[in-house]
Amino acid sequence: RKEVEQDPGPFNVPEGATVAFNCTYSNSASQSFFWYRQDCRKEPKLLMSVYSSGNEDGRFTAQLNRASQYISLLIRDSKLSDSATYLCVVTDRGSTLGRLYFGRGTQLTVWP
Protein backbone atom coordinates (compact mmCIF):
# COMPACT_ATOMS: atom_id res chain seq x y z
CA ARG A 1 0.00 0.00 0.00
CA LYS A 2 1.35 3.40 -0.93
CA GLU A 3 2.02 5.93 1.80
CA VAL A 4 -0.13 8.55 0.10
CA GLU A 5 -3.15 7.98 -2.13
CA GLN A 6 -4.83 10.57 -4.33
CA ASP A 7 -7.58 10.62 -6.89
CA PRO A 8 -5.61 11.15 -10.12
CA GLY A 9 -8.44 13.02 -11.83
CA PRO A 10 -8.39 14.68 -14.23
CA PHE A 11 -10.61 17.43 -12.94
CA ASN A 12 -11.85 19.74 -15.67
CA VAL A 13 -13.63 22.83 -14.37
CA PRO A 14 -14.64 26.23 -15.76
CA GLU A 15 -13.09 29.44 -14.58
CA GLY A 16 -14.64 30.62 -11.36
CA ALA A 17 -15.56 27.15 -10.16
CA THR A 18 -14.73 25.70 -6.77
CA VAL A 19 -12.86 22.41 -6.81
CA ALA A 20 -11.70 20.11 -4.03
CA PHE A 21 -9.00 17.44 -3.95
CA ASN A 22 -8.66 14.71 -1.39
CA CYS A 23 -5.80 12.62 -0.19
CA THR A 24 -5.35 9.83 2.35
CA TYR A 25 -2.19 8.67 4.04
CA SER A 26 -1.39 5.31 5.58
CA ASN A 27 1.01 6.14 8.41
CA SER A 28 -0.85 7.36 11.47
CA ALA A 29 2.45 8.72 12.81
CA SER A 30 2.74 11.17 9.95
CA GLN A 31 3.67 14.53 11.32
CA SER A 32 3.79 17.17 8.60
CA PHE A 33 1.60 17.67 5.58
CA PHE A 34 1.88 19.72 2.41
CA TRP A 35 0.45 20.38 -1.00
CA TYR A 36 2.89 20.79 -3.84
CA ARG A 37 2.02 22.04 -7.30
CA GLN A 38 3.62 20.79 -10.50
CA ASP A 39 3.09 22.53 -13.82
CA CYS A 40 3.39 20.56 -17.03
CA ARG A 41 7.01 19.62 -17.72
CA LYS A 42 8.20 21.56 -14.68
CA GLU A 43 9.45 20.67 -11.23
CA PRO A 44 7.19 20.38 -8.15
CA LYS A 45 6.97 23.47 -5.96
CA LEU A 46 5.54 23.94 -2.49
CA LEU A 47 2.03 25.37 -2.62
CA MET A 48 1.20 25.38 1.07
CA SER A 49 1.66 23.53 4.32
CA VAL A 50 -1.34 21.93 6.00
CA TYR A 51 -1.90 22.60 9.69
CA SER A 52 -4.08 20.69 12.12
CA SER A 53 -6.51 23.56 12.50
CA GLY A 54 -6.81 24.06 8.78
CA ASN A 55 -5.35 27.02 6.98
CA GLU A 56 -6.10 29.35 4.15
CA ASP A 57 -3.92 31.17 1.65
CA GLY A 58 -5.98 33.40 -0.59
CA ARG A 59 -8.24 31.22 -2.70
CA PHE A 60 -6.69 28.03 -1.34
CA THR A 61 -7.85 26.23 1.81
CA ALA A 62 -6.18 23.14 3.21
CA GLN A 63 -7.63 20.89 5.87
CA LEU A 64 -6.37 17.93 7.83
CA ASN A 65 -8.34 15.20 9.57
CA ARG A 66 -5.91 13.14 11.62
CA ALA A 67 -8.54 10.69 12.83
CA SER A 68 -9.42 9.76 9.26
CA GLN A 69 -5.88 10.30 7.95
CA TYR A 70 -7.31 12.58 5.32
CA ILE A 71 -6.09 15.82 3.76
CA SER A 72 -7.98 18.13 1.45
CA LEU A 73 -7.31 21.13 -0.74
CA LEU A 74 -10.08 23.50 -1.79
CA ILE A 75 -9.59 26.02 -4.59
CA ARG A 76 -12.18 28.77 -4.88
CA ASP A 77 -12.77 31.00 -7.91
CA SER A 78 -10.54 28.87 -10.13
CA LYS A 79 -8.24 30.66 -12.56
CA LEU A 80 -6.77 29.41 -15.81
CA SER A 81 -3.37 29.62 -14.13
CA ASP A 82 -4.45 27.05 -11.54
CA SER A 83 -4.20 24.34 -14.20
CA ALA A 84 -1.52 21.97 -12.89
CA THR A 85 -1.02 18.73 -11.02
CA TYR A 86 -1.43 18.95 -7.26
CA LEU A 87 0.68 16.59 -5.16
CA CYS A 88 -0.25 15.58 -1.63
CA VAL A 89 2.84 15.16 0.56
CA VAL A 90 3.45 13.84 4.08
CA THR A 91 6.38 13.19 6.40
CA ASP A 92 6.41 10.74 9.28
CA ARG A 93 7.25 11.26 12.90
CA GLY A 94 10.17 8.90 12.68
CA SER A 95 11.77 10.79 9.86
CA THR A 96 14.13 13.28 11.40
CA LEU A 97 15.91 13.82 8.15
CA GLY A 98 13.30 15.49 6.02
CA ARG A 99 12.05 12.64 3.87
CA LEU A 100 8.79 13.42 2.07
CA TYR A 101 6.28 10.95 0.70
CA PHE A 102 4.51 12.13 -2.45
CA GLY A 103 1.15 11.08 -3.82
CA ARG A 104 0.79 10.46 -7.54
CA GLY A 105 -0.93 13.81 -7.98
CA THR A 106 -4.32 15.11 -9.07
CA GLN A 107 -4.50 16.80 -12.43
CA LEU A 108 -6.57 19.97 -12.73
CA THR A 109 -7.52 21.77 -15.94
CA VAL A 110 -9.39 25.06 -15.71
CA TRP A 111 -11.04 26.08 -18.96
CA PRO A 112 -12.27 29.53 -20.01
The site for another protein (CB under 8 A) is made up of 31-32, 34, 42-46, 49, 87, 91, 93, 95-105
Output 78 or 87, the one with its CB closest to another protein.
87
Closest CA to 107 of 90, 88, 83: 83
Output 16 or 94, the one with its CB closest to another protein.
94
Output 82 or 92, the one with its CB closest to another protein.
92
Closest approach of another protein to the CB of residue 75, in Å: 20
Closest approach of another protein to the CB of residue 14, in Å: 26
Secondary structure of the chain as H, E, C letters: CCCEEECCCCEEEECCCCEEEEEEECCCCEEEEEEEEECCCCCEEEEEEECCCCEEECCEEEEEECCCCEEEEEECCCCHHHCEEEEEEEEECCCCCCCCEECCCEEEEEEC
Output 30 or 78, the one with its CB closest to another protein.
30
Closest approach of another protein to the CB of residue 62, in Å: 13
